[in-house]
Structure 1
Amino acid sequence: MVKSLPRRSEVPAEETWDLNSLFASDKEFNAALESLQQEVAGFQKQFKGNIQDAASVVEVLTSYLALLEKLVPISTYASLSLSTDQTDDEAQMRSSKFGSVSAKMSSQLSFVTSELLALPEETLKSAMEQSGEFEVYLKELIRRKPHQLHPEVEKTLAAYSSTFSAPYGLYNTTKMVDMAFDDFEVNDQSYPLSYVSFEGDWEAEPDAELRRTAFTAFSNKLKEYQHTTAKTYDMQLQTEKTTSDLRGYDTIFDYLLFNQEVDRSLYNRQIDLIMTELAPHMQKYAKLLQKAHGLDKMTFADLKISLDPSYEPEITVEESKKYINEALGIMGDDYLKMVERSYSERWIDFAQNTGKSTGAFCSSPYGNHPYILISWTGRMNEVFVLAHELGHAGHFYNANREQNLFNARPSLYFIEAPSTMNEMLVANHLLKNSDDPKFKRWVISSIVARTYYHNFVTHLLEAAYQRKVYERIDAGQSVNAGVLNIIKRGVLEEFWGDAVEITPGAELTWMRQPHYYMGLYPYTYSAGLTISTQVSKRILNEGQPAVDEWLEVLKAGGTKTPVELAQMAGVDITTEKPLRDTIAYIGELIDELVALTEEIEEVAK
């Protein structure tokens, strides 16, 4: 039974992460922030106007890198302490203080990029020869040169950075602080509702009446905030459009894809092929769910249910270790030591409490260990979620050790490949260990319903919706709640066809994800999973050599483009083949679910 969420202060400490490796106290945090402000002022005094030759380029970048390394734990502490309880006044004020101080420091430091780009290209190339440590950073800087503005403009824009990121903060405040859900009733019994309980429990509730009533109650509350949330989102969109125009990009898509280092054709391909070629497979899956549950009709509120809820194992945090260790053992001892430390040293926040951010994420501050946020409900599904976040952790655990801060982070296009790879390793491990048709069906349905549904459907439909929104913004228009509802409903109806009834409230799904405040992020989930699906097949077939190559990819961090990183792992994403193969593989899994269900039903007769 779903319970009301406790306050953060009521949660056992062992279920929370330990931020002491960042700062042991607020006093320590404030002292570090004050010290860094003084260092930034000294840095500006020392170097501004003095970057003139290759030697001074290397000198300024060495000092600049040291400053940024000191900024990382301060930024991370401010962000993570707020993410676990956004109702906490102290955490709110700390985050706001950091935002304003960070914007001031960014403005003071903006001269570095401006002065470097004012130098002849030959000088920058000479600096690369003198210090290979800065080669990737300087190459990227040269690539950015056509979009660089006057130094004073850059300084002013940097000073407004906290204002530009305000829509994301507003979104989270509306969602996690202001939006309070009432209990809902079914058959004269009252049930508690919250963002976390809806997305963690009620969406997957086997009882159709409970599940659908919860969906209606949840949607009704979202609807009350749709106009504020839409206005917040439009503010984000208009800021991005203005920035795109100011910097001279042809379209807002070119601006948002620039840092991802991928051609727009790769972005469009991911959306277009999945919308057309995956849709028939997923419609078949929806009809299978309807039949298995004996539903009168298949509605949007029914899409997250398990194929066989009676076979859904419950699992404790402690029990999850065994599955994670066995599944990820193929990655080697060093990787497993990281996994062990994540549990024993409290890198993971498992607690469920009011005000906590929804979903799950991994933060990997340079020079420290990763931190993972998850709200543990006890469903076996969470083993996949935890493996996913440990994939991010393992990626940056390796990259941060091998690369400097400038070089550690790869393109957003590639960022979800290591995370989804771990989900595939969990699935492959579970499939190997049983021939029981019911268990096999449960594992395959978990792969389809968790790994592929989440990344190839939920996030991809976000991406298809997002593309239509940006096309509108690029044409000089704006959006409001009515427009966003129409666009979202249209995308859902196009994908699900007549297999699923898009019931009232489904159109408000655009309100639920923070990804829209992170550029063209949603489509990268399917892009990453396309790569990891192909690499996981290689690991199954080839074993250790494929694993060793994958570990080298993780260590490479951001020193290569997404195309080059995929090539290192034996996948060519310049062609449609990996994506078509992955879609075909999902189709095969769904066909196998249909066959297993028929086999199980035949035995039961």
Structure 2
Amino acid sequence: MAKAQELPLRKDVPVKLTWDLTTIYRTDADFEKDFSAVKDQLPKIAKLAGSLSDGAEALLSATDAYLQLSRRLEKVYVYAQLKNDQDTSETNYQAMFFRVESLAAQFGAAVSWFDPELLKLSESQMTRYYQAEPKLKAYKRLFDQTFAKRNHILSNDVEKVLAGASDIFSAGEKTFGILDNTDLPFPTVVDDNGNQVQLSQGVYGVLLESTNQAVRKQAFEQLYKVYGQFQHTLATTLTTNVKNHNFKAKLRNYHSALEAALAENEVPTNVYQNLIQVVNRHLDLLHRYVALRKRVLGLDQLHMYDLYTSLVGKKSPKYSFETAKQIALAALQVMGPDYVSHVEEEFDNRWIDVVENRYKRSGGYSSGTYDTNPFILLNWKDNLDNLYTLIHETGHSMHSYYAAHHQPYQYGDYSIFVAEIASTTNENILTDYLLNKYHDNPEMKKIILNYYLDGFKGTVFRQTQFAEFEQYIHEQDAKGQPLTAASMDKYYQELNAKYYGTAVISDDKIGLEWSRIPHFYYNFYVYQYATGFAAATTLADGIVSKPNDHVDKYLAFLKAGSSDTPTNVMKKAGVDMTQPAYLEHAFEIFEQRLNEFDQLITSN
């Protein structure tokens, strides 16, 4: 038997395939200087408490000090995070990251007085302050974001108690995390090659893509057998989390936990409700897709564990990293020369940590701060999925680049609500590029369309299903209804049957799916995947079909950072996310591509 190829150690990875963190700090000693400087400033900024009512100059001085220290802290934080992630076995960088996390907590405590004290300033006082010190106008939106919470921020004493009890409030999430990642006893199962493998979340995802239904079925049944054994405990952890959200929302005078969660990102609740309503109106398209999957796979019975295997039955085309960069640059030409020049800068100046090495953090992300490059972590594999990951993370990095280079520090970041839009716009542009590139190659078109349809199914339909379930359990608890494992199993299975239709058997075990989804602990987070993908679909279609009309608007969105509310920022790009039109347009494109895929499959 051939020996399995081992991952290289970090020191053995070619330098050109690693990110260049010396652009943040030349040496660790330089990092230590900034770390110490931040730590030394904490007592000084804490002593500014009580000064905001002393006049306009005092407010300006305190705000400048706060932001300057925050900016410096972010730089040391990013450096430590990236150093740790590139090789998590290096104890010195583990320690560095732990120290920075502790420093960030100390910073939070040192400035905790700022918002409650700012809220004591009346509108008339602020008007006088702006007149007396015009430089304060540069921070008006920043202040207004706090003033918008005036009716929801409590007295200093209560806020202090809530902050001190944060570990208690997060007990449900933490307990779930320990159970899910460490304590649940997953069995061994058989993979495609007949090998016994230890089941895990990652292995489960791979086995569901198997072309062998017996492998998929065994993985599904064995995974949910474990969750079924612990469902009552997991119902308790989730209920604890829901009660936490509802308690805080009521305490802070919000109508619901949904309103409280969305208010954090300045998003109106109708964005959430529109998503659920429009997706429900178009469930017939998901039902069509599921029925097509049953027909293509040639199955008498289609089960939920059959929804992830490829419909084209072929391995992914191979793309080296160098080839992937060339394809990404070609696809992104539609974005114009300025955008492309910055992508080239990313590719040519070691912003990307490319290959997997031993002990490197898994997955992929874009990370940076106002004073650093927007770095990208990859664990490169030569396949289509990694090509999409590259262009996805490049979308994040270009968003960060444009925001940081066109906004002052206080507005140089962007809301999580719009974060996935820039990345998935790039994905959709790539899809259009590849479909045109392979217009006369039916086999490649089927591969690309299969990838797109599965992505839409998993991001728009599935995440909206999650969002609908999340809203339901919060509403039930708010009404005083107990959230038992049995009641959640029943509702989730009914919801699943509604979404996927009669072509698939909603196995009893799928009712347990709620028990293994960590996102249900994230406080109304998942809907943003769906709204973001739909908005990106609409944006990409406009850019590709009429770049002269849409690229400048899109770049204005990237440059806006957090200088306006997220929905207003999106309006700059030409998408009003408070209205359902962008969702309807996304479903039109999905239907067109579903029809095209159906025709290609049927013509074989």
1:218/1:448 Cα in 2 relative to 1: closer, same or farther (>3 Å)? same
Paired residues of 1:180 and 1:194 also in contact (CA < 8 A): no
Map of 1:151 onto structure 2: 156
Map of 1:140 onto structure 2: 145
- 301-310 or 548-557: which moved more? 301-310
Instruction: Tell me the secondary structure at the aligned position of residue 367 of structure 1.
Output: coil
Map of 1:401 onto structure 2: 405
Paired residues of 1:349 and 1:374 also in contact (CA < 8 A): yes
Instruction: Tell me the secondary structure at the aligned position of residue 311 of structure 2.
Output: coil
1:167/1:6 Cα in 2 relative to 1: closer, same or farther (>3 Å)? farther
What runs of 5+ residues in structure 1 fail to find an aligned partner? Answer: none
Deviation of residue 26 (structure 1)?
Answer: 7.6
RMSD, aligned CA: 3.5
Paired residues of 1:459 and 1:525 also in contact (CA < 8 A): yes
Paired residues of 2:243 and 2:477 also in contact (CA < 8 A): yes
Paired residues of 1:287 and 1:499 also in contact (CA < 8 A): yes
Paired residues of 2:84 and 2:97 also in contact (CA < 8 A): yes
The normalised TM-score by structure 1 is: 0.87
The partner residue of 2:326 within 319, 322, 326 is 322
1:83/1:498 Cα in 2 relative to 1: closer, same or farther (>3 Å)? farther
Distance, in Å, in 2 between the alignment partners of 1:239 and 1:534 is: 36
Paired residues of 1:128 and 1:138 also in contact (CA < 8 A): no
Distance, in Å, in 1 between the alignment partners of 2:113 and 2:503 is: 56
Paired residues of 2:459 and 2:530 also in contact (CA < 8 A): yes
Deviation of residue 303 (structure 1)?
Answer: 0.9
Asked whether 1:60 is paired with 2:65, we answer no
Map of 2:276 onto structure 1: 271
Q: Which amino acid aligns with 2:284?
A: P
> Over residues 428-450 of structure 1, what are the superposed CA-to-partner deviations in whole Å (9 max), with x where a residue is unaligned?
11112122222222222221112
Q: Which amino acid aligns with 1:347?
A: I
- 280-289 or 148-157: which moved more? 148-157
Q: Which residues in structure 2 correspond to 1:384-533 (within 5 Å)?
A: 384-435=388-439, 436-450=441-455, 452-476=456-480, 479=483, 481-533=485-537
Instruction: Tell me the secondary structure at the aligned position of residue 65 of structure 2.
Output: helix
Map of 2:50 onto structure 1: 48
Q: Which amino acid aligns with 2:246?
A: K
Map of 1:114 onto structure 2: 116
Deviation of residue 100 (structure 1)?
Answer: 4.9
Instruction: Tell me the secondary structure at the aligned position of residue 47 of structure 2.
Output: helix
The partner residue of 1:208 within 213, 234, 241 is 213
Deviation of residue 425 (structure 1)?
Answer: 0.5
The partner residue of 2:369 within 365, 370, 387 is 365
Q: Which residues in structure 2 correspond to 1:305-344 (within 5 Å)?
A: 305-310=309-314, 312-343=316-347
Identity, in percent, stands at 24
- 488-497 or 68-77: which moved more? 68-77
Q: Which amino acid aligns with 2:155?
A: H
Paired residues of 1:325 and 1:339 also in contact (CA < 8 A): yes
1:552/1:187 Cα in 2 relative to 1: closer, same or farther (>3 Å)? closer
Paired residues of 2:49 and 2:113 also in contact (CA < 8 A): no
1:163/1:317 Cα in 2 relative to 1: closer, same or farther (>3 Å)? farther
> Over residues 151-171 of structure 1, what are the superposed CA-to-partner deviations in whole Å (9 max), with x where a residue is unaligned?
233344344456655655555
The partner residue of 2:548 within 544, 551, 557 is 544
Q: Which amino acid aligns with 1:314?
A: K
Q: Which amino acid aligns with 2:57?
A: A
> Over residues 19-57 of structure 1, what are the superposed CA-to-partner deviations in whole Å (9 max), with x where a residue is unaligned?
565568888767654542331211121453354222222
Q: Which amino acid aligns with 1:157?
A: L
The partner residue of 1:289 within 283, 288, 293 is 293
1:158/1:403 Cα in 2 relative to 1: closer, same or farther (>3 Å)? farther
Instruction: Tell me the secondary structure at the aligned position of residue 69 of structure 1.
Output: helix
1:562/1:101 Cα in 2 relative to 1: closer, same or farther (>3 Å)? closer
Q: Which amino acid aligns with 1:325?
A: L
Deviation of residue 558 (structure 1)?
Answer: 1.3
Paired residues of 1:424 and 1:536 also in contact (CA < 8 A): yes
1:92/1:473 Cα in 2 relative to 1: closer, same or farther (>3 Å)? farther
Distance, in Å, in 2 between the alignment partners of 1:538 and 1:337 is: 21
Paired residues of 1:103 and 1:161 also in contact (CA < 8 A): no
Paired residues of 2:570 and 2:577 also in contact (CA < 8 A): yes
Distance, in Å, in 1 between the alignment partners of 2:496 and 2:462 is: 10
Paired residues of 1:222 and 1:511 also in contact (CA < 8 A): yes
Deviation of residue 456 (structure 1)?
Answer: 0.5
The normalised TM-score by structure 2 is: 0.87
Paired residues of 2:45 and 2:110 also in contact (CA < 8 A): no
Deviation of residue 403 (structure 1)?
Answer: 1.9
What runs of 5+ residues in structure 2 fail to find an aligned partner? Answer: none
1:92/1:492 Cα in 2 relative to 1: closer, same or farther (>3 Å)? farther
Deviation of residue 199 (structure 1)?
Answer: 6.0
- 223-232 or 573-582: which moved more? 223-232
Deviation of residue 499 (structure 1)?
Answer: 1.6
Distance, in Å, in 1 between the alignment partners of 2:94 and 2:491 is: 33
Distance, in Å, in 1 between the alignment partners of 2:230 and 2:83 is: 26
Map of 2:267 onto structure 1: 262
Instruction: Tell me the secondary structure at the aligned position of residue 414 of structure 1.
Output: helix
Map of 2:244 onto structure 1: 239
